Amino acid sequence: MVGKMKKVAIIQSNYIPWKGYFDLINDVDEFVLYDDMQYTKRDWRNRNKILTPRGLKWLTIPTESKGKYLQKIKDTLISDPKWHHRHLRELHDNYRHARYYDLFLPKISRLYEKASQQTHLSQINYIFLTGICSLLGIDTHISFSMEYPLTEGKTERLVDLCRHCQATHYISGPSAREYIDTDIFSASNIQLEWKSYANYPKYNQLGTGFEHGVTILDLLFNMGPESSWYIWGWRS
């Protein structure tokens, strides 16, 4: 009897990430937040971009990182408990004229209120990821790498996580081509597939020009219930 196919992706948690991140979540049966990895400053773990009339702007969650060069994402603490007030104010100032801002603001505000009660970055990211998945109609199971035993080696660890998840397919972002050893996946009988983030359609974005690489909130506020079409629905 042929076993059931199960697709898995493994990636570090990001703060209100761009649409491609949710496209990958939607592609798989289990999405593992790889927060046993080292926390990197000035990265996507604790910040993302919004679009303003003056161009792109970062929304950043302040973290305790000074002197903690080897800390893991899962151990990273928030340094200012009032961070969410600034982020909500920035969203209001820059998206209040968006078509679906009034419809989605209460939902997004509840996520911010819930996230503001957390002390660890991983938990904040998890709240936003699961909450936004719900808004997009994504029912993928989201787990943490710390729920599974880990082995050594970059590719070996990914393969071992896939085994614990009972994965038959591993879906990876294109940037991982630089370090993944494809032979190890082949030897483990786990099919490796590469995700493409090409050719996303443009949508009615505020301002002039168009930016794909902004937070998913930009898409939700501008396109509302149609958002999922601009992430994966257009392909069919």
Q: How confident is the model at residue 1 (pLDDT cuts 50, 70, 90)?
A: very low
Characterize 50-86 residue by residue with b for buried, 16 or more Cβ atoms within 10 angstroms of its Cβ, and e for exposed: bbeeeeeeebebebbbeeeeeeebbebebeeeebbee
Identify whether 223 is part of a domain: yes
Identify whether 192 is part of a domain: yes
Spatial distance between the Cα atoms of 217 and 17, rounded to a whole number of angstroms: 8
Identify whether 132 is part of a domain: yes
Phi, psi at 171, each rounded to 5°: -105, 125
Tell me the whole-structure pTM to 2 decimals: 0.96
Identify whether 63 is part of a domain: yes
pLDDT digits (tens, 9 = 90+) for 162-194: 999 999 999 999 999 999 999 999 999 999 999
pLDDT digits (tens, 9 = 90+) for 109-162: 999 999 999 999 999 999 999 999 999 999 999 999 999 998 999 999 999 999
Q: How many residues does the chain have?
A: 236
Identify whether 186 is part of a domain: yes
**Number of domains, the chain:** 1
pLDDT digits (tens, 9 = 90+) for 3-34: 699 999 999 999 999 999 999 999 999 999 99
Range of the domain at 202: 7-235
Contact by Cβ (8 Å): 214, 13? no
